[in-house]
């Protein structure tokens, strides 16, 4: 294996690419790329990837590193699953870029790390977003240019007043809310665990335990409308995927779109039933009611 080029993003730099000589019993070796992040790559993955065609993989690994402190295992099946993920919407990419720029020093030259941090496919997509930010008076920057096939990355100068306001609006919503929205499968065992034991623990911490089902919705209201109303006012969402309840996917997806922090949970033994769309996020895998309560309360305190 070439130790100077990352097999996922194609970045080549002897200083920034570290590939372990050691291979564990499962056939994985550790790769630490300054662009993708740290991950474990299976020996059967062909060494022929490049960023343009596999940018989702590089971005996904970077996201796992940055957001979840996770160094994922990558094999052929995992790559196929990631490539089949829906791409982020252009608004999501724009918001990621604005957050990225807000953490830079003024007068900073951008580099290809902005691509992988913001789920950008190529420099053309970056140029599109930079021009949009400039035209909306959110940033001051020099646009990227091409010089005989070589691309010169833009220079970020500063956020404008409008840009600072934009960043403030991107911060976690409902910071003053005490509502914690809980979504799970309403079978008898889980209802007892969540609506009794977890509810007591959440309320003991001073929060409001919020669940929406047929029993909590007035007969003349749509349950989906009520779910959206409650989600919009929640500080945190707890999404449990034990027994694979479809509506939990809707509720967690809506929360993600609202930028509301999500605590992903699943009872041990049910992980393989989840959709890959959620398996990519690190879940609290719990054994019993006490284990669930302990881990969830710890995670809530970490978020708050």
Domain 90-170 top-level CATH class = mainly alpha
Instruction: Record the tokens describing residue 243, joined without a space.
Output: 């027994």
Whether residue 136 is predicted with pLDDT greater than 80 in this model: the reply is yes
* CA 156 – CA 185 distance, rounded (Å): 47
Q: 265, exposed or middle or buried, with CB in 10 Å at 0-12, 13-18, 19+? A: buried
The per-residue pLDDT for range 171-225, each reduced to its tens digit, is 767 888 999 999 998 888 899 999 999 999 999 999 999 998 766 555 545 677 7
Neighbouring-strand partners of residue 262: 237
The band of 108, judged by pLDDT with boundaries at 50, 70 and 90, is very high
> Which tokens sit at 297?
């309360």
pLDDT of residue 3: 66
For the chain, what are the domain ranges? 17-83, 90-170, 179-303
Highest-pLDDT range among 19-28, 180-189, 216-225, 239-248: 180-189
Q: Report whether pLDDT(304) > 90.
A: no
The CATH topology of domain 179-303 is Rossmann fold (3.40.50)
With 0-12 / 13-18 / 19 or more C-beta atoms within 10 angstroms meaning exposed / middle / buried, residue 1 is middle
Statement: residue 122 has pLDDT above 80: yes
Tokens of 2: 């070439």
pLDDT for residue 18? 72
Least confident of 66-75, 167-176, 246-255: 167-176
Three-state SS string over 167-226 comes to HHHHCCCCCCCCEEEEECCCCHHHHHHHHHHHHHHHHHCCCEEECCCCCCCCCCCCHHHH
Q: Can you tell me the distance from the alpha carbon of 5 to that of 13, in angstroms, rounded to the nearest whole number?
A: 6
pLDDT at 297: 95
- pTM for this model (two decimals): 0.65
């Amino acid at each position: 294996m070439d130790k100077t080029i990352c097999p996922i993003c194609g970045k080549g730099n002897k200083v920034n690419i570290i590939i372990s000589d050691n291979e564990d019993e499962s056939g994985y070796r550790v790769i630490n790329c300054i662009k993708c992040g740290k991950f474990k790559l299976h020996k059967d993955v062909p060494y022929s990837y490049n960023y343009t065609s596999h940018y989702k993989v590089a971005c996904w690994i970077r996201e796992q590193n940055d957001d979840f402190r996770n160094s994922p295992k990558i094999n052929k099946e995992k790559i196929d699953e990631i490539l089949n993920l829906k791409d982020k919407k252009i608004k999501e990419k724009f918001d990621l870029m604005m957050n990225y720029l807000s953490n830079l020093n003024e007068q900073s030259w951008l580099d290809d790390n902005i691509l992988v941090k913001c789920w950008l496919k190529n420099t053309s997509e970056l140029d599109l977003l930079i021009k949009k930010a400039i035209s909306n008076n959110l940033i001051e920057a020099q646009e990227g240019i091409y010089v005989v096939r070589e691309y010169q990355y833009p220079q970020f100068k500063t956020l404008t007043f409008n840009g600072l306001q934009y960043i403030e609006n991107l911060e976690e919503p409902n910071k003053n809310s005490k509502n914690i929205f809980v979504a799970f499968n309403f079978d008898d065992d889980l209802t007892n665990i969540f609506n009794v034991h977890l509810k007591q623990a959440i309320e003991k911490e001073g929060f409001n335990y919020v669940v929406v089902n047929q029993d909590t919705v007035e007969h003349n209201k749509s349950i989906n409308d009520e779910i959206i109303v409650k989600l919009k006012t929640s500080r945190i969402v707890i999404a449990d995927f034990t027994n694979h309840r479809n509506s939990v996917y809707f509720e967690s997806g809506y929360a993600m779109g609202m930028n509301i922090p999500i605590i992903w949970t699943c009872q041990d033994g049910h992980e393989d039933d989840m959709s890959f769309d959620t398996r990519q996020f690190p879940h609290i895998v719990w054994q019993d009611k006490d284990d669930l309560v302990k881990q969830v309360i710890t995670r809530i305190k970490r978020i708050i």
